[in-house]
Amino acid sequence: MDLFLIRHAIAEERREGLIDADRELTDRGRSRFAAVVESLGQSGFRFDRVYHSPWLRAVQTAQMLDPITDGQLVSAAGLARAPDPEFFGLLRGDPVACVGHEPWMSDALSLLTTGDPHGPWLRFKKGGVAWLRGLPHPGGMELRALMPPRGTAPNG
């Protein structure tokens, strides 16, 4: 399976009275992530399915992937908390994208590549993408590419 772990794009800052789950993408976040989507599409990437956290900024980021998605956008509460190995075993499609939050996306990357969810070796920038290949269980995947939010996607 090809699995793309994606941190949501730049969202509005936390502030008093705003529920964290209700923070929206900023114009800058939308603009920068639109370039990521364009780069992925130009590199030939398309997703069978996009799973996303139910938090607004992740939903909006997932919606931006729609032009390169052949299947459904699926809300998944498992992407709004620390990674659960069982969650990744339930993913359907190939390739699949998962849109979520830090520090959980980095923890998921560590879990899937090393078997340890607490590896300190990587942190996602907002709008960053990690491309993994293998079996979606602890230690069963290899990192194929890490794409910063303004980087160019590798060829599919």
* pLDDT > 70: percent of the chain: 94
Q: How much is the pLDDT for 132? A: 97
Q: Across the strands, what pairs with 96?
A: 3, 49
Q: DSSP E strands: which ranges in the chain?
A: 2-7, 49-52, 73-75, 96-100, 129-134, 141-147
pLDDT at 151 over 60: no
Average pLDDT, the chain: 91
- Contact predicate 132/109, CB 8 Å: yes
What is the tens place of the pLDDT at every residue in 71-120? 999 999 999 999 999 999 999 999 999 999 999 999 999 999 999 988 76
Whole-prediction pTM value?
0.92
**What tens digit of pLDDT does each residue of 35-84 get?**
999 999 999 999 999 999 999 999 999 999 999 999 999 999 999 999 99
